[in-house]
């Protein structure tokens, strides 16, 4: 370690001292203020680039949880948050966005020290979060517009109102601890709901800056609450009697457990879960153009992104050429100090995730895949949770690395003999979250997208659009985020019928 506390690994050791407003804390954000936790337990925060503990947060007790949910319920009921006009709530969201942007550097650095995401990635977190808030604020008029529907015989009409569902439990993962909260928080607040946020255990500190921004923006007390605790605490939050809806991003097994609990309670859920998406490369694809977007499309955030296309389907006649391009592109991308703006690949977010990824690499080698770069070579540092980015060629559809979500810097390249064969391989998965088609003929690619059983498809790139729904199919989740559809996930309709003649 340097005196400033930055990891002495990889491409650079000259990063400046980080801006970390929170390190060791004792408080939870409940009812508009930081209040000391009643629980005695603590969760430590480890820098995955160095393996060193640098922060800690309290583990909330059952009493803390009840205080947070009760505060959210109180802020929702009576003359509360839901009773403001959509325009007034939108104005609050715009101020919230401004306050988040003021905290951009602290959010970036804290995020990077929590999960190892390079600052090239985390420096965009605050701006992206602010843009989500501004998008949902722009839907105020959509909510205020009367929705009146005539009876078929013309004798009466129905006024369709949209009411907020109530208190929402927002449970976040560790890979994008800010934006995957805000994707839920912004539509929930715009709808008129109040929330209790539980961040993932490895990343409990950066979300505190969002709570600070809420307070500075004048969000009323109790509307936004943040509590920290282990997985069992999340289960208690899901089952709290005053929680009306659950929104979760994370693994498919945990999502199934949440869905089961919510189903027993007849409680709506939004679940954004795992993926095993494909990048389908057509024979006419421009490989130079593909190389420029390869990492963001197929290995973004050191492979720790749910929708990335980690299976590359290559036409047999160009297979060797595509393997060479992918291999050289991954090899050329720097792995090292995540505080260095030039770094592309950081460490795995946790030691547990490192071991999971290494297990998949061993599995790929044992089943006959060929590592064209990476594999089980020594990482750049023995300290921290480093895994060398790996590309596998000669992958077949039945291999574990071709079927299971790895969530690390591993790509598999599979050959296909015909377009029908490629579609079959792409759809031969339990997941259905993302996907990409690379082709010089975008009209042909657009037509082909309809044959892929996935919630989102990119043509020659992949990105999410705040104005369009993002939804998984099959084991990739239930419900959707973003767009007006994401807003409706936090609303419940009421039909009021009246005669007009």
Q: What is the 3-state secondary structure (H, E, C) of 172-207?
A: CCCCCCCHHHHHHHHHHHHHCCEEEEECCCCCCCHH
From residue 65, alpha-carbon distances to 38, 117, 222, 447 in Å are 10, 30, 13, 50
pLDDT tens-digit profile of 403-455? 999 999 999 999 999 999 999 999 999 999 999 999 999 999 999 999 999 99
Residue keyed to tokens 């005695």: 40
Q: Record the tokens describing residue 355, joined without a space.
A: 């071991």
What residues contact 116, with CB distance under 8 A and at least 6 apart? 47, 48, 49, 302, 338, 346, 347, 348, 349, 384, 385
Q: Record the tokens describing residue 100, joined without a space.
A: 């988040």
From residue 38, alpha-carbon distances to 199, 318, 480 in Å are 18, 62, 35
Residue keyed to tokens 């430590």: 44
**With contact defined as beta carbons under 8 Å apart, do 259 and 247 qualify?**
no
182 closest CA partner among 207, 165, 203, 162? 207
From residue 157, alpha-carbon distances to 142, 151, 162, 490 in Å are 20, 5, 16, 25
Whole-number pLDDT of residue 366? 98
Topology classification of domain 278-465: Aldehyde Dehydrogenase; Chain A, domain 2 (3.40.309)
Angstrom distance (rounded) from CA 338 to CA 423: 37
272 is catalytic: yes
Whole-number pLDDT of residue 170? 98
**Residue ranges per domain, the chain?**
27-273+478-494, 278-465
Angstrom distance (rounded) from CA 85 to CA 164: 12
Whole-number pLDDT of residue 160? 95
Q: Which CATH number fits domain 27-273+478-494: 3.40.50.150, 3.40.605.10, 3.40.30.10, 3.90.226.10?
A: 3.40.605.10
Q: What is the value of pTM for the model shown?
A: 0.93
Whole-number pLDDT of residue 11? 36
What is 269-295 written as a DSSP string?
EEEE-----EEEE-TT--HHHHHHHHH
Give the count of beta carbons closer than 10 Å to the beta carbon of residue 252.
Answer: 20
Whole-number pLDDT of residue 230? 85
Whole-number pLDDT of residue 261? 94
Whole-number pLDDT of residue 120? 96
Exactly one of 99, 121, 306, 481 is catalytic; which is it? 306
Angstrom distance (rounded) from CA 224 to CA 182: 12
168 is catalytic: no
Exactly one of 272, 298, 405, 481 is catalytic; which is it? 272
286 closest CA partner among 444, 439, 448, 461? 439
Long-range CB contacts for residues 25-29, cutoff 8 Å, separation at least 24: 25/55, 25/56, 25/57, 25/58, 25/205, 25/208, 26/58, 27/58, 28/58, 28/60, 28/64, 28/68, 28/225, 28/226, 28/227, 28/228, 29/208, 29/211, 29/215, 29/224, 29/225, 29/226, 29/227
Residue keyed to tokens 């820098």: 47
Mean pLDDT, 10 residues at a time, the chain of 501 residues: 33 59 95 94 96 96 96 91 96 98 97 97 97 98 93 94 97 96 98 97 97 97 95 90 97 94 95 96 98 98 97 98 98 97 97 97 98 94 95 98 97 98 97 97 96 97 94 95 96 95 76
pLDDT tens-digit profile of 363-390? 999 999 999 999 999 899 999 999 999 9
Torsion of CA 59, 65, 68, 74, to 10 degrees: 180
Strands 390-393, 156-164: pairing is unpaired
């Amino acid at each position: 370690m340097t005196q400033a506390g930055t990891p002495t690994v990889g491409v650079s050791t000259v990063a400046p001292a980080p801006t970390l407003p929170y390190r060791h804390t004792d408080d939870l954000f409940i009812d508009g203020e930081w209040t000391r936790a009643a629980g005695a337990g603590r969760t430590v925060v480890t820098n995955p680039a160095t393996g060193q503990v640098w922060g800690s947060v309290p583990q909330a007790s059952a009493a803390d949880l009840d205080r947070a949910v009760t505060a959210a319920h109180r802020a929702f009921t009576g003359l509360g948050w839901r009773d403001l006009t959509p325009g007034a709530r939108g104005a609050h969201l715009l101020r919230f966005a401004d306050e988040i942007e003021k905290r951009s550097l602290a959010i970036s650095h804290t995020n990077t020290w929590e999960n190892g995401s390079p600052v090239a990635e985390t420096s965009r977190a605050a701006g992206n979060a602010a843009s989500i808030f501004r998008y949902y604020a722009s839907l105020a008029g959509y909510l205020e517009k009367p929705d009146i529907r005539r009876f078929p015989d013309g004798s009466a009409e129905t006024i369709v109102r949209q009411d907020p569902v109530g208190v929402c439990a927002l449970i976040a993962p560790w890979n994008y601890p800010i934006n995957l909260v805000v994707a839920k928080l912004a539509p929930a607040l715009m709808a008129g709901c109040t929330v209790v946020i539980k961040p993932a255990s490895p990343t409990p500190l950066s979300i505190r800056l969002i709570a600070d921004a809420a307070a500075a923006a004048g969000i009323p007390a109790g509307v936004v609450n943040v509590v920290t605790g282990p997985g069992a605490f999340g289960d208690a939050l899901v089952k709290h009697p005053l929680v009306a809806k659950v929104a979760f991003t994370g693994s498919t097994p945990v999502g199934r457990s949440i869905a089961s609990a919510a189903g027993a309670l007849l409680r709506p859920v939004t679940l954004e879960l795992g993926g095993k998406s494909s990048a389908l490369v057509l024979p006419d694809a421009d490989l130079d153009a593909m190389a420029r977007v390869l990492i963001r499309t197929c290995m973004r955030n050191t492979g720790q992104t749910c929708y990335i296309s980690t299976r590359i389907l290559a036409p047999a006649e160009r297979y060797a050429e595509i393997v060479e391009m992918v291999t050289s592109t991954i090899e050329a991308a720097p792995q090292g100090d995540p505080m260095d703006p030039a770094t592309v690949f950081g460490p795995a977010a946790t030691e547990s995730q490192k071991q999971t990824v290494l297990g998949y690499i061993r599995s790929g080698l044992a089943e006959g895949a060929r590592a064209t770069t990476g594999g089980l070579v020594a990482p750049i540092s023995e300290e921290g949770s480093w895994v060398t980015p790996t590309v596998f060629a000669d992958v077949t559809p039945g291999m574990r690395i071709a079927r299971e979500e790895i969530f690390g810097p591993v790509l598999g390249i599979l050959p296909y003999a015909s377009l029908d064969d490629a579609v079959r391989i792409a759809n031969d998965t339990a997941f259905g979250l993302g996907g990409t088609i690379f082709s010089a003929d975008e009209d042909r690619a657009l037509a082909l997208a309809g044959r892929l059983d996935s919630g989102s498809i990119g043509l020659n790139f992949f990105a999410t659009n705040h104005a369009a729904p993002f939804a998984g199919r099959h084991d990739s989740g239930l419900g959707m985020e973003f767009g007006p559809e994401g807003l409706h996930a936090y609303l419940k309709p009421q039909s009021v019928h009246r005669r007009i003649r």
